[in-house]
Amino acid sequence: MIAEAETTVARPPEVLARVQPLASPARPTLVLNKRDFHWITDKVCGIVEQPAPLWWWICAAVAAMVASFVPIGLFYLVSTGIGVWGLRPPEFWGWDIVNFVFWVGIAHAGTMISSVLCLLRQKWRTAISRTAEATTIFGIMCAGIFPAFHVGRVWFAWWLFPVPNSQSTWPNFHSPLEWDVFAVNTYLTVSLLFWYMGMVPDLATLRDRAKVTWRKYFYGILALGWRNSTRHWRNYEMAYLVIAGMATSLVVSVSAIVSADFASSLQPGWHTAIFPPYFVAGAVFCGFAMVLALLIPLRSLFKLEDVITQYHIDCVCKATLAIGSMVAYVYTMEFFIAWYGGNLFEVFTFINRAFGQYAWAYWIMLSCNVLSPQLFWFKKVRRNLPLVFLVALLINLGMWCERFVIIVTSLGNDFLPSSWGYFTPSVVDIFTFFGTLGMFGLLFLLFIRFLPMLPISEMKHVLPEADPHFGERGHITTGADGVPKGGGL
Amino acid sequence: MKLKFHHPEPSARELTGPRYWRSLDNLAATPAFKEWVVREFPAGASELEGVNRRHFLKIMAASFGLAGVGLSGCRQQTLHLLPYSKQPERMIPGVPIFYASSQPGPEENLPLIVETHDARPTKVEGNPSHAATGGATDIFAQASVLDLYDPDRAQRSSGADGQPMSPDNVTDKLSQLVAAFSPMRGSGLYFLSNRSTSPARARVVDKIRQKYPLAVWAEYEAIDQSNPERTASAWFETPARPVYDFAKAKRVLSLDSDFLQTEPGHLANARGFAKARSVEAEADMESMNRLYIVESHYSLTGANADHRLRCATAQVPAVAALLAAELFTQAPLSSRQDEVLAVLKKLGAGATVDPKWVSACVKDLLAHKGAAAVIAGSQLPVELHQLVTLMNVALGAVGQTVTYRALPDRPPAASIADIAVAIDAKKVQTLVILNGNPAYNAPGDLNFAAKLKTVPVIRYGYYGRQADETSALAGTFIAGLHYLESWGDGLTWDGRHVPVQPMIEPLFEGLGELDVLGMLAGDPNADAFKYVQDTFAAMHPGKSFDEWLAVGVAGDEAPAVSRDDVGIRADALAAWTYRAPEVSEKSLEVRFIPGAGWDGRYTNNGWLQECPDPMTKLTWDNAILVSPKLGKQLGVAPEPVLMNKLGQTAMDANTFVKSVEQAQIGEITVKGRTIRGPVSILPGLANWTLVVALGYGRKLAGGVGQDVGFSASPLVSAAGAMACSVTGAVLKILPDVYQLANTQEHWSMEGRELVREANITEFHDKPDFARELGLEAHAPPIYGPAKVLSPQEKAVEIPRGQMLYQTQPNNEPQPNYPAWNTPEGRADYPTPQQWGMSIDLNTCLGCNACVVACQAENNIPIVGKDQVRRGREMQWIRLDRYFASGPGPDGNEQTMEIPEDPQVAFQSIACMQCELAPCEVVCPFAATVHDDQGLNTMAYNRCVGTKYCANNCPYKVRRFNFFDWNKREIGHFNEGPLGPDYYATEASQLTRMQKNPDVTIRMRGVMEKCTYCVQRIEEAKINQRVKAQGTGNIKVPDGTIKTACQQVCPTQAIQFGDVSDAKSAVSIAKASPRNYAVLGYLNTRPRTTYLAKIRNPNPEMPDYHNQPLTRLEEGARYKMGVAEGAAAAT
């Protein structure tokens, strides 16, 4: 060891001098056209501060109208009985749980982008993280409606929580539905915290720019007394990192636990070990697609091409393609295991999915989820934004169908052929689902109207100006006297 | 101040109506009571003058005390209790009282034990004192208790213009009638009555006949089953009927006779048949019976047959002649052999049947001389029954498997056709119609309803003017009584005397049948009770009337009749000029069968309407059933769906869109008369026979039965030998499509080992064949180390349930019983009994009795046709019906064809009470949990309705209350609170009286399922504890508890009891090598297990398969034993 160390020490320094490190490829610029700090602040705050454009009012009105289906549908449901939905034996779950899993999936991209990419130091995430997190929050809100209201006696649903009640009985912690309660609520709490905390510096910016009293108070309260002090920043960064770490584990846990609703049952087509990773992949997949579908129109409506660049879109498309391929792998593997397992009920279920009464759903799922993302291999496609938008929508459709395929086809034709049946949604089912789409849209529109849609402070971090080496300022070097020179601000 | 009582304010109609059962309202409605309540303070309390403090407090205390009686302001509704001022004898609140009675029928009275709660009959059971039926009943008896509380039944009598008539008015009217016709000796007076077995009624009718010698007494049943009786009476020259003892019959040939389900005496038949069919061990191979059947419809008897020959009913006599000819060829007659054979050959000319089938069948019958029986459908012509008698004589069956039992000698009655002729001849001055509903179900060619309009009709009946076609045409309608509220008597199928006792005061202003007949006989003080008493005294001199009422059966079986020359009466045969009509695709046959409402009399019964037909699985409708071949020709056969095209699943037999059967409307035309109805394919029908159920299409039936299905009566012909079928029909398919409520879409088991079956030879070679089928045969031992334990030890030792909160291990006391936690106490701690069930698929006939019995016992609501179409029917027992077609001609699985001649297997499925119940683990609310007796219990109060349990139940036995079935009215479920509140209606006051008070009424949003009749278990346990009195002998003896389904089962296919006791009946059944668990590989460890079905085909028959068709199908699918199967099929 000592000899080795000596040789190392003895290595002539000129060798190092001769080393010519490869020039690393230039990182793509994340903000184009040399926009500066001030431009970003003006741009993002301007969206909130200027009067809402006409299209916003139109969209909000339509969304509000559609969203009204939700309370109407639920009122009818609760007052009359869940027979108003299309549920029937053997499909005791139908669109309700399909929608639940769909919305939980939508809710995945936000946390994935914000936390996982944050930990991986993917700087391109900054421009899209805020909107992605918003989809998480609103997705979870839509998702929660379905499991809460699909029960027969919703007024007793609070028994799911371990609180004292007249029957002195705790919930059954063995039930995956009970796990759902905790998983989804934890996810909502952490996501909300993450989203809100990330927004605090930006809310303070809005507060400081406010010229109207209500704005001062509104953003003032929301900004929690943020003063941009170094101590604030230090605590903020630490907290952000900690929550990102927590949220990362939740990305995996919530969909994995939702998948346990199915995987822990006996139903052929549900009872499989691949479900947890499968559901996580599927959720991230449709979450990314949803982010694409929201960003592309927003980008052009608010002229945000300089901050949400083609590079961002490329990144999301590639991520979608990667996750989509995992989903495709799972589809294949499910079939393989059904055959390899030799269980005739499993074999039947999978053949039935592809060629039975519900084949339409299966083939929509397959073409949307497996075939359409393959277009993202091509740069040309990724640059054709209308096409990307279309593919993103197709993926969302496909992922909805995937949940339908998993839930309904497995229930429809299970063990006893005498009890087979075909599920048909009722009008109330359909309207309630579209209502949640409207609700999601409305919440999102309110979000872009009243909250900073892009993370102002974080985006400034990725500007070249934020780099300590920016401009004339070089590396911090130590002079002969040992005092640092250069660099600094 | 608003006063609220738990009864709604009585309507004007109620105040003038009957009062006994709503006396509380009537009390509340009296002015004095109202005034007393409305006054804020009782009399005296408001006059506070010159009182001191003490007096004031006294008055205030009294006021507050009384305030609770009628004043609102409390959070909870005020309810009123009226204690008995004099406790009725033996009536203990909460403890049911049982009475013996019987259900009258046209050919037999069914002996019953009726359960009453607080003097309300709630459930009927068979009377075990009657050995032949052994305590079994059928669906009609089970459902009859609902008819008692039918809100649509007649509530009062009415006159010509619909004016209500009091009972006194009725008496007056009848005395006027008597006065008018007595001088004329009854000339012009016509009676049209239902058939009845009642000796008391016969005595009163005799009086009527004596009083009016010129009057005409006719009897009519839309489904006439008296031909065997007519034949036997003529043959023996004394009234008699053939009564079969199938327990002794090793070989049975049925000629279009559904003797296990729709023929009179079917319960005794089924019991005997099951006894001869059951196989306990492989040694029973020789004793197992074999059933051959020739039939057009696929009846339940056909479903249980080993060899089934499809043949149009019209050609059955011809086939019978061929069979008889073969019989007399193989076993020559002592005399006139050639003559008889010639006659028979001539009669059999029109039939096309495989001669090998005939000869092998006859050979087998002859090989069991003395233990063989031939039975013919009661709808078939008298001459055929003579032929059957002849065959039975030749087979040595008479006195062995068939006994001709004497019937009471009653004067012959005229027929409905005679009445029709008399009306045309203007001879009828007054027509008295007793029961029946001829305006609806008389044969179409009589045009009887139109004729009724031309004569004065006095109608006595159980259904009223608004609910019955005949009553609506009658000038005078006399409201009748249900059998559960009237006195009467009757004879069982084997001739024992049984009482009909009232269980309850008449609910409405009806009159008993015997009372009315007595008045017509000129006795103004007619008393049904007296008639019954007198009849009993005359029939059983010296016997105790009270004992008869208590036991429910008196006397012995009717004596057997015989005659020495019972042999050959070829002359009678020769006189039979029968020619089998041509039945082909151009000239179809229409075969009429009894429907869910029999001939229409039970049409308004929701339990029967919603009970799926065992073969078609249709509810709330009848259909024109056609064979697959005819269906294909007519173009109503379904298109294969995607899966079928790939050859993976068997093709559905009918077109289903979104799980709803889409039936084309067909139009049957016979001799110019037409009916229309939905066409549905039923595999296994004779190719050119259309099967139509009677008793549907009522125009005045009440809220349930109105316009359900279509009436086939217009096609029925009064003329001709066979009223059960007509030939020369043409079926035209119309473009309209009708949606049927079919509860089972898929007919094939898809090669899954759900019903396991084998031929008797395989069972003999490999008794435990059932355990080598199914996925679990390939799986590792599911009990792990516990596999070495006995079933009794397994039931106790292995932890059960999958709840977080495990139940205490079975041999340990609950921690909250301190007395048992001492060492001595633990020694006394008895392990709870472990309940389990065994269902013998070999003797399960598929009769549906368990389904309706369960509905009656457990307050299961009906949901109506619309909801059944959505698959939301609520019956806790589901009778799965699977057809098996066997492999195709090439030995491969045949999937693209609907089977024309399939085998069928039934499987009655209710909650299996799994020890490792998949439903329990997934319920987040802990609403379904395991108890220490091994029951998978449902805590309805705790259920919030996630429905996850139902999803995870592999047997799909859980039922969900999608709506408030009990609170909302059928057809208004979707209206929610805006719809009518059924509880607030008068009808609900009636129907709720049927409910079993021991079982919860479930609200919407709650899951429900079979509980092994836990209320009966608990009742028996309480009784046993009372009996034990500290001796510690608290184990309920085996056989004490009978679940509702077990009790009703005519074949005793269901065993229930303690599986931890090796000597219990259920443990003995489960020890059979045939025992298996459905989907056992899932390791749910169901407490309900099944005994595999054994078929007993004859290897010499042309349609012999060396394995049941389900097994051959499975072999073809999984390429196991293909060669064997293919060889057998060819």
The mean pLDDT value for B150-178 works out to: 87
pLDDT at site B869: 92
Which among A267, A355, A417 has CB closest to B750?
A417
Q: For residues B158 and B465, is the Cβ–Cβ distance under 8 A?
A: yes
pLDDT per residue, tens digit, chain A (489 aa), is 444 545 555 566 777 777 777 776 677 777 777 788 888 898 889 899 889 999 999 999 999 999 999 999 999 999 999 999 999 989 999 999 999 999 998 888 778 877 888 888 788 888 888 888 899 999 999 999 999 999 999 999 999 998 888 877 888 888 999 999 999 999 999 999 999 999 999 999 999 999 889 999 999 999 999 998 999 999 999 998 899 888 888 888 888 999 999 999 999 999 988 999 999 999 989 889 998 999 999 989 988 888 888 888 999 999 999 999 999 999 999 999 988 988 888 988 999 999 988 999 999 999 999 999 999 999 999 999 999 999 999 999 999 999 999 999 999 998 999 999 999 999 999 999 999 999 999 999 999 999 998 888 888 888 877 777 666 555 555 555 655 554 444
What are the residue ranges spanned by the domains of chain A?
37-152+171-461
pLDDT at site B733: 93
Contact residues on chain B for A415, CB-CB shorter than 8 A: 752, 954-956, 1079
Listed by number, the residues of chain B in 861-900 with a beta carbon closer than 8 Å to a beta carbon of chain A are 867, 870-872, 878, 880-882
Given an 8 Å threshold on Cβ–Cβ distance, is B922 in contact with A177? yes
Which among B926, B951, B1082 has CB closest to A92?
B951
- CA pair distance B519, B529, nearest whole angstrom: 14
Contact residues on chain A for B751, CB-CB shorter than 8 A: 344
Q: Determine how many CB atoms are found less than 10 A away from the CB of residue B187.
A: 14
Cis before A90 (ω within 30):
yes
Q: Determine how many CB atoms are found less than 10 A away from the CB of residue B870.
A: 22
Contact residues on chain A for B926, CB-CB shorter than 8 A: 169-172
pLDDT at site B65: 58
Which among A81, A421, A424 has CB closest to B1005?
A81
Given an 8 Å threshold on Cβ–Cβ distance, is B643 in contact with A76? no
pLDDT at site B15: 60
CA distance B749 to chain A (A): 6
pLDDT at site B768: 86
Instruction: Say if residue B394's pLDDT is above 90.
Output: no
Q: By the CB < 8 Å criterion, does B779 face chain A?
A: no
> Token digits for B1015?
């209320």
- Where does the pLDDT of residue B1120 fall: very low under 50, low under 70, confident under 90, or very high at 90 and above? low
Listed by number, the residues of chain B in 784-823 with a beta carbon closer than 8 Å to a beta carbon of chain A are 802-804
Three-state SS for A5? Answer: helix
Instruction: Say if residue B160's pLDDT is above 70.
Output: yes
The mean pLDDT value for B17-36 works out to: 52
Three-state SS for B373? Answer: strand
- What are the tens digits of pLDDT across the range B396-436? 888 889 999 999 888 888 888 899 999 999 989 999 999 88
Three-state SS for B549? Answer: helix
Given an 8 Å threshold on Cβ–Cβ distance, is B960 in contact with A357? no
Given an 8 Å threshold on Cβ–Cβ distance, is A356 in contact with B954? no
Which among A81, A93, A159 has CB closest to B964?
A81
Q: For residues B601 and B143, is the Cβ–Cβ distance under 8 A?
A: no
Q: Which chain B residue has the Cα nearest residue A345?
A: B752
> Token digits for A325?
């391929």
Q: What is the DSSP track for B683-714?
A: TTS-TTEEEEESS---SS--TTTTT-S---GG
pLDDT at site B570: 59
- What are the tens digits of pLDDT across the range B936-969? 999 999 999 999 999 999 999 999 999 999 999 8
- CA pair distance B6, A476, nearest whole angstrom: 90
Q: Which chain A residue has the Cα nearest residue B1081?
A: A343
Q: By the CB < 8 Å criterion, does B756 face chain A?
A: no
Q: What is the DSSP track for B135-161?
A: T---HHHHHHHHHHT-TTB--SEE-TT
Contact residues on chain A for B923, CB-CB shorter than 8 A: 172, 175, 177
* Number of A–B residue contacts, CB under 8 Å: 210
Contact residues on chain A for B642, CB-CB shorter than 8 A: 355-357, 359
Q: Which amino acid is at B191?
A: F
- What are the tens digits of pLDDT across the range B892-941? 665 678 888 899 999 999 999 998 889 988 999 889 988 888 899 999 99
Given an 8 Å threshold on Cβ–Cβ distance, is B909 in contact with A416? yes
- CA pair distance A425, A98, nearest whole angstrom: 12
CB contact set of B335 (below 8 Å; sequence gap of 6+): B568
To probe the interface with A, which of B616, B643, B1003 has the most A CB atoms within 10 Å? Answer: B643
Asked which of A319-328, B147-156, B278-287 is least confident by mean pLDDT, the reply is B278-287
Contact residues on chain A for B951, CB-CB shorter than 8 A: 90, 92-93, 265, 267, 411
More confident position, B848 or B720: B848
Taking each helix axis as running N to C, give the angle between helix A385-404 and helix A275-301, from 0 to 180 degrees, rounded to the nearest 10: 150
Listed by number, the residues of chain B in 1082-1101 with a beta carbon closer than 8 Å to a beta carbon of chain A are 1082, 1084
- What does the mean pLDDT of chain B come to? 85
Q: Determine how many CB atoms are found less than 10 A away from the CB of residue B453.
A: 10
Alpha helix locations (H) across B874-1013?
A: 918-922, 948-952, 986-991
Instruction: Say if residue B201's pLDDT is above 90.
Output: yes
- Where does the pLDDT of residue B1125 fall: very low under 50, low under 70, confident under 90, or very high at 90 and above? very low
To probe the interface with A, which of B962, B963, B966, B1085 has the most A CB atoms within 10 Å? Answer: B962
- Where does the pLDDT of residue B559 fall: very low under 50, low under 70, confident under 90, or very high at 90 and above? confident
Three-state SS for A35? Answer: coil
Q: Determine how many CB atoms are found less than 10 A away from the CB of residue A485.
A: 13
Q: Determine how many CB atoms are found less than 10 A away from the CB of residue B688.
A: 26
Asked which of A279-283, B34-38, B304-308, B520-524 is least confident by mean pLDDT, the reply is B34-38
The mean pLDDT value for B569-595 works out to: 81
End-to-end CA distance of chain B: 86
pLDDT at site A329: 94
pLDDT at site B803: 54
CA distance B1014 to chain A (A): 21
- CA pair distance B377, B254, nearest whole angstrom: 8
pLDDT at site B706: 85
Q: For residues B1008 and B938, is the Cβ–Cβ distance under 8 A?
A: yes
Listed by number, the residues of chain B in 652-681 with a beta carbon closer than 8 Å to a beta carbon of chain A are 656, 658-659
CA distance A336 to chain B (A): 18
What is the percentage of chain B residues whose pLDDT exceeds 90? 43
- Beta bridge partners of residue B125, listed in sequence order: B113
